[in-house]
Amino acid sequence: MREVQLTLGGRRVLEQVDLAVRGNEIVTLVGPNGAGKSTLVRVLLGLIKPDEGSVWLQPGLRVGYMPQRLSVDPVLPLTVSRFLTLGRRCSESQVRQVLQEVGAAELLPAQVQSVSGGELQRILLARALLRDPQLLILDEPVQGVDVAGQADLYRLIGHIRERLHCGILMVSHDLHLVMATTDRVVCLNRHICCSGSPEDVRGDPAYLALFGSAPELAVYTHHHDHRHQLDGHVVAVDGGGKGGDPRG
């Protein structure tokens, strides 16, 4: 994307944003709540049209997308196998293969509503991989996963890059782990504050201004106030006045 600008609800959400992801590269987008990270992802996916600027994807590019949160009707029977094949043609062997790759083969017959947070993240990643993506977009891929599970998932994402040689764009709040697992960090606060290798960004004044003087230990709480339905729609969640910004 180039020089992208977007205003929502009378507030500028993205301002003069330039971003490119190359093949076989992991780019991680970080920033505070309300910085526009998830909105940027939706613009990139074509779900939101920017007011100004352009978004270009290589013609025929296969994109796999892992949303931040999934909304599933708790009374709707839905197995993991059925969920992975919704809206797409793929064989049972393909489904088994991607579940095996993400370490969730035993979940094939399970009900989606019954799995843990970490298991759900692996299932969502498996669904994205069924597209055999050339670009993989992961919005908070370790959301709801314990620390040990986060490290495992980040290692898995690295293995996926090595196997597919795909470009990967991650949105993350796990700054310490991200610094060790990404090729390039982009710090967003409505505009691009800084970008570069993890080592360069760690000492950048703009990054330090957002995350403090010990960025390698920087951790902050992210409150979600939206979820994704199976059809891709984003639904607001009542956070009782304490939720994060939907522009997250």
pTM, whole model, 2 decimals?
Answer: 0.83
Which amino acid, 159? Answer: H
**8-22, 140-154, 185-199, 227-241 — which is least confidently predicted?**
227-241
Partner residues linked to 40 by β-bridges = none
Q: What is the pLDDT of residues 47-84, one digit of tens each?
A: 999 999 999 999 999 999 999 878 777 788 899 999 99
Reduced to 3 states (helix: H, G, I; strand: E, B; else coil), residue 77 is: coil
Residue 211, number of CB atoms within 10 A of its CB: 21
Calculate what percentage of the chain has a pLDDT beyond 70. 85
Element at 186 (helix H, strand E): strand 184-189
* Per-residue pLDDT at 248: 61
Give the pLDDT mean for 94-112. 96
Q: What does the buried/exposed string (b/e) look like for 103-142 if buried means 16 or more CB atoms within 10 Å of the residue's CB?
A: bbeebbebbbeebeebbbbbbbbbbbbbeebbbbbbbbbb
Reduced to 3 states (helix: H, G, I; strand: E, B; else coil), residue 29 is: strand
Pick the more confident residue, 172 or 100. Answer: 100
- Taking the C-alpha atoms of residue 49 and residue 238, their distance in angstroms, rounded to an integer, is 26
* Per-residue pLDDT at 174: 66
